Amino acid sequence: MSEAVSLQTVVGVNVFAANCPSRSVLDHVTSKWGVLVIVALSGDTLRWGELRRSIGGISEKMLAQTLRVLEADGMVLRTVQATIPPRVDYQLTDRGRSLADRLIPLVEWVGDNAVEIVAGRPEAGAS
pTM for this entry: 0.82
Q: Would the pLDDT of 108 be above 50?
A: yes
pLDDT-derived band of residue 5, with 50, 70 and 90 as boundaries? low
- How many whole angstroms separate alpha carbon 101 and alpha carbon 41? 12
What pLDDT, in 10s, does the model give residues 43-57? 999 999 999 999 999
**Residue with the larger pLDDT of the pair 2 and 78:** 78
* Segment 11-34 mean pLDDT: 83
- Give the whole-number percent of the chain exceeding pLDDT 90: 60
Average pLDDT, the chain: 87
Q: Which residues have CB under 8 Å from 58's CB, separation 6+?
A: 33, 36, 52, 66
Note the pLDDT of residue 86.
86
Helix (H) or strand (E) holding 91: strand 87-92
Q: Which domains does the chain have, with CATH numbers?
A: 31-116 (1.10.10.10)
- How many whole angstroms separate alpha carbon 75 and alpha carbon 92? 6
**Residue with the larger pLDDT of the pair 125 and 55:** 55
